[in-house]
Amino acid sequence: MKLNIKNTFTSQLPADPITDNSRRQVTKACYSFVIPKPTANPKIVHVSPEMLDTLGLSENDAKTKQFLNVFSGNTVLEGTTPYAMCYGGHQFGHWAGQLGDGRAINLFEAQHNNQNWKLQLKGAGETPYSRTADGLAVLRSSVREYLCSEAMYHLGVPTTRALSLALSGDQVLRDVMYNGNPAYEKGAIVTRVSPSFLRFGSYEIHASRNDLSTLKTLVDYTINSHFSHLVTANTKAEINKQTYVQFFNDVATRSLDMVIHWQRVGFVHGVMNTDNLSILGLTIDYGPYGWLEGYEPGWTPNTTDRQNKRYQFGTQPDIVLWNLYQLANALYPLIEEAEGLEAVLANYAEQKDIKHLKMMRSKIGLSSKEQLDANLIQELEDCLQLAETDMTIFFRNLSDFNSTTPTNGLQIIRESFYDIKSVTEAIKDRWNLWFNSYADRLQRESISAKAKKENMNKVNPKYVLRNYMAQLAIDDANKGDYKLIDELYNLLKQPYAEQPKHQKWFAKRPEWARHKVGCSMLSCSS
Ligand code: AMP
Ligand code: MG
């Protein structure tokens, strides 16, 4: 296994001077050195061929003992110094203080094709940031993270990636629904890959401690490593207050683009705390996430958030804005002027609606813009909630709608209704009215029906990782059968393509999955 190791994070940022693995508050440092916990009997369950390629590794490399040992945490690659990152975060709206990589251990950075990648193990044992938990991860949540991060990548959603999924061979105790019924589950480790794992909370922690020196060092490192266009565009080639505002603006734009993609594909993150929002606008930390089945803006898969529904589907873009306010507060001491930061936040609020409308236009195949499109789309979102309507099937099948035969509308979307009996005459009337307006609007488009359909099928996926699909793969994996993981992995590589042999996955959630733990109900216990 030949990797081009290049460690920028540990060579440029301050380390915690304490090197024992005790749980503690870590100050004036961005990370702590820590060695992964050796595993009992590691076994690779799946490897991403795309990620191997991206890192310059071969499929043969993935079959070596060295690969198994390094990516299960049993061997530290020579010349590398694993570490856990220090960060804080606002959890469910409240400042939670230091959190940090409680069960993620960064191994090293590898450079390939001019791209620098950080590789980290999730579930590789305790770190100074583990607080009261064990630093481990179970197979169930690791399968979910592994499959979903790769699926999101193929959907065109900015995301961290996954290289491999391994069983540790250890047993891990978890109380899935937090109801006093702990049970042992199989331990697992996902190797995650990203240009950076820095989060909003990585900056908040230093600001909260008024440690402006570490904050500045980290922000400057981030700009130089990941936003270098901001430095080279500046004739003096130095970072100043204006650069910080531009940096914040870039983070806001990337975060907005990310969340608009989530809304497009029906992804609900579930735990959008500031420690789970990447500074690069990548989807990060796949926990109790879920996919919309019935189109329901108020839905969240996270049972921990069932009361307040803070992280429900419909308001995800607003939550990103709330999180950006926290980041703005953290950056303020470096800038000492609120104006620039406020302008970025105001621009986000404006762009949020503009980009949402643009995205929704694309979902219904409108390539031109008209003033009343917002009304048409609002009425569509209202109609979608009249009877339980599957989001993925609805938008995919809508591409068959032809403005010359508007009366076919209901027939075309019929398959997306969960219970056809619940579609009353009054609901049908609403839909027919909508189809009439939609047909009128389509007639003013200048592209052919064929081109419209092709465009729509590029933004409306046919296959997503429905909650029950991941659960079926997990149930099999718990019995030692990994075929379904591989099948879903391959299916989700081409989410926009027709894949006739996989047609069975283009189906509504089965009734048995409606209220099943793992399918519609997920907790943070992972
Ligand atoms: P999350 O909201 O799941 O991203 O996690 C919030 C915090 O809890 C992060 O600092 C995680 O590292 C930490 N954490 C979650 N699960 C564990 C675990 N099993 N062991 C140690 N730390 C954990
Ligand atoms: Mg997290």
Task: Give the position of tokens 């901001």.
Answer: 230
Task: For residue 436, give the 3-state DSSP assignment.
Answer: helix
Give the C-alpha separation, 27 to 40, whole Å: 33
Average pLDDT over residues 470-485: 97
99 lines ligand 1 (CB under 6 A): yes
pLDDT at 178: 85
**C-beta separation of 183 from 523 below 8 A:** no
Residue 517 reports pLDDT greater than 90: no
Give the C-alpha separation, 296 to 353, whole Å: 19
Query: How much is the CA Rg of the chain, to the nearest whole Å?
Result: 24
275 as an active site residue: the answer is: yes
> Which of 486, 487, 484, 492 shows the shortest CA–CA distance to 464?
492
**C-beta separation of 194 from 284 below 8 A:** yes
Give burial (CB, 10 Å; 0-12/13-18/19+) of 8: middle
Set 16, 101, 220, 275: catalytic member = 275
Phi, psi of 33 (to 5 degrees): -70, 135
Question: Which tokens hold the place of 101?
Answer: 């990589």
What percentage of the chain exceeds 90 in pLDDT? 93
Measured in residues, the chain has a length of 526
Question: Which conformational region is residue 178 in: left (phi greater than 0), alpha (psi within -120 to 50 degrees), or beta?
Answer: left
136 lines ligand 1 (CB under 6 A): yes
Q: How many CA atoms lie within 13 A of 293 on its CB side?
A: 23
Question: If you take atom 12 of ligand 1, which residue's CA is the nearest one?
Answer: 102
Question: If you take atom 13 of ligand 1, which residue's CA is the nearest one?
Answer: 102
Task: For residue 209, give the 3-state DSSP assignment.
Answer: coil
Q: Measured on CA atoms in the order 199, 202, 205, 208, is the torsion positive or negative?
A: negative
Q: Which amino acid is at 167?
A: L
**Pocket perturbation via mutation, ligand 1, pick of 94, 103, 277 by most ligand atoms within 8 A of CB:** 103
Question: Which tokens hold the place of 321?
Answer: 């804005």
Residue 237 reports pLDDT greater than 80: no
What are 149-206's pLDDT values in tens digits?
999 999 999 999 999 999 999 999 999 888 898 999 999 999 999 999 999 999 999 9
Cβ neighbours around 247 below 10 Å, total? 23
pLDDT at 523: 82
What percentage of the chain exceeds 70 in pLDDT? 99
Task: For residue 388, give the 3-state DSSP assignment.
Answer: coil
Residues 6+ apart with CB under 8 A from 92: 273, 305, 308, 310
pLDDT at 234: 62
> Which of 276, 255, 310, 126 shows the shortest CA–CA distance to 198?
276
Average pLDDT over residues 442-450: 94
> Which of 110, 107, 106, 105 shows the shortest CA–CA distance to 76?
107
Residue 524 reports pLDDT greater than 90: no
Q: Which ligand is nearest to the CA of 524?
A: 1
What are 355-399's pLDDT values in tens digits?
999 999 999 999 999 999 999 999 999 999 999 999 999 999 999
Distances from the Cα of 372 to the Cα of 357, 358, 379, 443, angstroms: 11, 13, 11, 14
**C-beta separation of 12 from 2 below 8 A:** no
Terminal alpha carbon distance of the chain: 31
pLDDT at 389: 98
What are 256-276's pLDDT values in tens digits?
999 999 999 999 999 999 999
135 lines ligand 1 (CB under 6 A): yes
**C-beta separation of 441 from 370 below 8 A:** yes
> Which of 318, 341, 339 shows the shortest CA–CA distance to 328?
341
127 lines ligand 1 (CB under 6 A): no
Give the C-alpha separation, 514 to 507, whole Å: 14
Task: For residue 482, give the 3-state DSSP assignment.
Answer: coil
**Pocket perturbation via mutation, ligand 1, pick of 130, 185, 283, 286 by most ligand atoms within 8 A of CB:** 130
Please report the atom of ligand 1 found closest to the CA of residue 137: 19
125 lines ligand 1 (CB under 6 A): no
Query: Who surrounds ion ligand 2 at CB < 5 A?
Result: 276, 285
Please report the atom of ligand 1 found closest to the CA of residue 91: 2
CA of 433 to the centre of ligand 2 (A): 45
pLDDT at 233: 65
133 lines ligand 1 (CB under 6 A): yes
**C-beta separation of 526 from 122 below 8 A:** no
What are 401-423's pLDDT values in tens digits?
999 888 899 999 999 999 999 99
Give the C-alpha separation, 198 to 120, whole Å: 12
Task: For residue 188, give the 3-state DSSP assignment.
Answer: strand
Alpha helices in 233-372 (DSSP H): 241-265, 316-335, 338-363
Give burial (CB, 10 Å; 0-12/13-18/19+) of 522: buried
Structural domain spans, the chain: 5-197, 201-361, 362-459
CA of 188 to the centre of ligand 1 (A): 15
Give the C-alpha separation, 30 to 45, whole Å: 32
C-alpha of 524 from chain center = 15
Residue 118 reports pLDDT greater than 70: yes
Q: Which ligand is nearest to the CA of 270?
A: 1
pLDDT at 206: 98
Give the C-alpha separation, 224 to 439, whole Å: 50
- Residue-averaged pLDDT of the chain: 96
Residue 147 reports pLDDT greater than 80: yes
- Helix, strand and coil in the chain, % to nearest 5: 45, 15, 40
C-alpha of 362 from chain center = 22
**Local confidence band at 236 (pLDDT 50, 70, 90 cut-offs):** low
